[in-house]
Structure 1
Amino acid sequence: MTTPTTLGTGEARTRLHELTVIDVRTPGEYAGGHLPGALNIPLDQIQRALPDIRYAAERGDILVVCASGPRSENACRILADNHITTATLSGGTGAWAAEGHELNRPQGATRATWGMERQVRFTAGTIVLIGLLLGLLVHPAFQILSAGIAAGLVFSALTNTCGMAAVLARLPHNRPRPADLDNTLAELRNR
């Protein structure tokens, strides 16, 4: 398994005009703020977008971003397995914003959605707490909820994947607008 090339926020900012930036977060996260000029191709749509990403990579460098790095690294691995060379942004859009760099929002986007990692932490913590409380107050068998979440978090860390994030990404608040992949791919081909 290859490790993708990583660009720091300073280098990415300097080279932004020459990079094709692909944001692999959910449409809701993308609407909450993205790098200037970034195109939203959610991670679960990368396979479908392969021909257009390959075409863009033949014309210039591709930078893949997410909130903090793991999803963009996964996308870079998928692309590398398909002989497409890309780089990822160190620390993702979180690091970009923390350094005071501009984040754009789609026209008409008014509310910010929590980042996926924050949603996962909130959901996992809530389920663990409910499992513990129900285990103490109702029946000890409810503690299985907490154990299941703990096992899922360990699996997530070991595989650098997150099933809970995949489920949460399908919720309506994470898709304030559907990913318009056809228009995004057309724009990618025309760059």
Structure 2
Amino acid sequence: MGLQEISALAASKADAQQTIFIDVRTSAEFSNKRPARSLAFAPLTDLAPEDFAMRHGILPDTPLIILCTSGGRARKAAEKFMKAGFSDVQVLQGGIDAWEREGLPLVGANSAPDIGGPISLDRQVRIAAGSLVLLFGLLGYFVTPGFVWGAIFVGAGLVFAGITNTCGMAMLLTRAPWNKTGCTGGVCPISGKPKGSSGGGCK
């Protein structure tokens, strides 16, 4: 079975006692804005599905809905869970962006639309890539033409990221200090334990 997606509206109606939502963004993004419902936090860079399941007493057939900002990281996390043997895994189509567009409730330090706060990882990648291209372009014009190769390298990296859905710059940025604030310890507790799960990991 291929990777399954679920719309924000459909996900908002999922039974909180049976379905676990897992946010795989950075801790800063999680603290800034997230769906106003029972939610687990497990950043993609530290995600180990078997450890996560053991910690929260989750069974292989427990329904999981995985989300990030727009869907890219959630798909990677979903693939990890599926390879680990989880059979009911869905990705929130369009991520938090889609949830917000539908006007669904949010909580967090900056849960109201258009309020400043930590910049999402997707935007950080665009800012970093654009800054590097601009820098290499200026250096190539004012210092030596050889710096233009730096801009070409960044552009090639973005093309590679688009084709493979793997972005090295994003993986580096997730480890930046400003993306490490908020919840600590890799996984935040879930409020409420789904039916069919075992153990007492969910609080």
- TM-score range normalised by the length of the shorter chain: 0.7 to 0.9
Deviation at 1:185, TM superposition (A): 8.0
Matched, 1:174 2:179: yes
The answer to whether the Cα contact below 8 Å between 1:3 and 1:77 also exists between their aligned partners in 2 is no
In 2, distance between residues paired with 1:142 and 1:114? 29
Partners in 2 of 1:13 and 1:177 — Cα distance? Answer: 24
- Give the direction of change, closer, same or farther, for the CA distance of 1:68–1:16 in structure 2 (3 Å limit): farther
Identity of aligned residues (%): 28
Secondary structure at 2:38's aligned position in 1? coil
What is aligned with 1:74?
Answer: 76
Q: Does the 8 Å CA contact 2:41/2:187 hold for their aligned counterparts?
A: no
Partner of 1:124: 129
Q: 2:96 aligns with which of 83, 93, 96?
A: 93
Q: CA deviation at 1:4?
A: 1.6
Specify which structure has the higher proportion of helix.
Answer: 1
- Aligned ranges for residues 29-48 of structure 1 at < 5 Å? 29-35=29-35, 36-47=37-48
Counterpart in the other structure of 1:148: 153
Q: Which runs of 5+ in 1 are unaligned?
A: none
* 1:137-178 per-position Cα deviation (integer Å, ceiling 9, x unaligned): 110111121011111111111210111011111111111135
TM score, norm. by length of structure 2 = 0.82
In structure 1, C-alpha distance between the alignment counterparts of 2:99 and 2:172, rounded to whole Å? 26
How far off is 1:99 after superposition? 1.2
Report the AA paired with residue 27 of structure 2.
Answer: P
**In structure 2, what is the Cα distance between the partners aligned to 1:77 and 1:182?**
19
Q: 1:5 to 1:57 in 2, by over 3 A?
A: farther
Partner Cα distance (2:167, 2:106) in 1: 25
TM-score, normalised relative to structure 1 = 0.87
Residues 42 and 188 in structure 2, CA contact (< 8 A), matched pair in contact too: no
Is 2:190 the partner of 1:190?
no
What value does the CA root-mean-square deviation take over the aligned residues?
2.4
* Unaligned stretches of 5+ residues in structure 2: 110-114, 194-200
SS in structure 2 of the partner of residue 68 of structure 1? coil
Q: What letter is aligned with 1:67?
A: T
1:46 Cα deviation after fit = 1.5
